[in-house]
Structure 1
Amino acid sequence: MNIHLQILFLLLNLSIFTTSNENEKAMSVYDFEIQSLEGEIINFADFKGKNILIVNTASECGYTPQYADLQELHESYGDKVTVLGFPANNFGGQEPGSDQQIAQFCEKNYGVTFPMFSKMEVVGNNQHPLFKFLKEQTGKEPTWNFCKYLVSADGEDISFYPSSVNPGELVEKL
């Protein structure tokens, strides 16, 4: 085989490999479909046109009272922002419950009515693809429970906020 054919063959193989990898990666936040605590698959394309606040949550954390603030944001500014909660047990083992236990805790203690998703890994080797995507877009990943990502209404801008930022402080960004 002459050198030109070898180079062509190599380029074709690289092209196929690159294309398949690109197809596996989400190109926007709207490409995700994730299971809720109730077992329903939620299509993120349904959130187009509104800001999205993505929060990794835990039931036994010092920041857990932020559930009340997230619910207030959901009730008062639901026309501008969709609040989404993602329970995770990555930090201090502070979310040990099952999906059913988490749902019961959130409703009983905070009256949570915004969408909550099935417990997942938000950091580490088994990091959920959504949080990998958010990390790629912002250069930041959760460092503790109740870290927040605010996605603009057009899906183009994503900002990271640490646990210490109260959800109410984000109202001016909506």
Structure 2
Amino acid sequence: MRHILILMISTFWATGAWAMPRDVEFASIDGGTLQMSDWAGQPVLVVNTASQCGFTNQYEGLQALYDTYKDRGLVVLAVPSDDFNQELASAEKVKEFCELNFAIDLPMTDIEHVKGTAAHPFYKAVADETGFVPRWNFNKVLIGADGKVVATWGSTTRPQSAEIIHQIEKALD
């Protein structure tokens, strides 16, 4: 943990702004790990998700964004979370649900915490940088190719909204 803090501090002093530590990793829903460093130089839209939420149909829009922009470098990362008591009991059930109902093939993490003291280091870093903490499922964080938070959105902003697409287009240019 100390090396992450040192990396964050040195990034701040070198650039004048916080950047997401690239050594942050997530457990993958498929097994193994997903590392932010694998996507260095690419924008990443990170979304905390849940399978039993009124916003669950946003998976369709997330997959559509991924399909539209992945060849240009966009990564859409779904982070299932039960912090709002609306996720299925296991990663296996989440994966099956997403594949059957939404044909999801975008990267997904194992079930993670996104708020509070148990929050995943990614979400702690975003909160430290911006003050943004997910208030509900399907909150979105766009990380630019430079590792900086470009923008954040709440649940009611749909994945294919004009403002998200505008920010993605800018991040890809």
How does the TM-score come out when normalised to structure 1?
0.83
Alpha-carbon deviations, 1:74-104, whole Å to 9, x = none? 001112410000000111x100320000000
The amino acid of 1:38's aligned partner reads D
The amino acid of 2:24's aligned partner reads F
Q: Partner residue of 1:7? A: none
Structure 2 counterparts to residues 7-22 of structure 1, below 5 A: 22=2
Query: How far off its partner does 1:24 sit?
Result: 4.2
Q: Partner residue of 1:23? A: 3
Structure 2 counterparts to residues 49-64 of structure 1, below 5 A: 49-64=41-56
Which deviates the most, 139-148 or 78-87? Answer: 78-87
Q: Partner residue of 1:83? A: 76
How does the TM-score come out when normalised to structure 2?
0.83
Structure 2 counterparts to residues 11-160 of structure 1, below 5 A: 22-25=2-5, 27=8, 28-78=20-70, 79-91=72-84, 93-160=85-152
1:117 and 1:22 mapped to 2: Cα distance? Answer: 24
Query: How far off its partner does 1:159 sit?
Result: 1.7
1:52 and 1:102 mapped to 2: Cα distance? Answer: 21
8 A Cα contact 1:138 1:159, kept in partner: no
* Cα distance change on mapping 1:138 and 1:158 into 2, 3 Å: farther
Question: How many percent of aligned residue pairs carry the same amino acid?
Answer: 35
Q: Partner residue of 2:167? A: 173
8 A Cα contact 2:126 2:149, kept in partner: no
Q: State the structure with more CA Rg.
A: 1
Alpha-carbon deviations, 1:108-151, whole Å to 9, x = none? 00011010001011112211111101111111100000000001
2:154 and 2:23 mapped to 1: Cα distance? Answer: 25
The amino acid of 2:44's aligned partner reads I
What is the RMSD of the two structures over their aligned residues, measured on CA atoms? 1.4
Query: How far off its partner does 1:22 sit?
Result: 4.3
1:125 and 1:150 mapped to 2: Cα distance? Answer: 22
Runs of 4+ in 1 over 4 A off after TM superposition: none
Q: Gaps (5+ residues) in structure 1?
A: 1-20
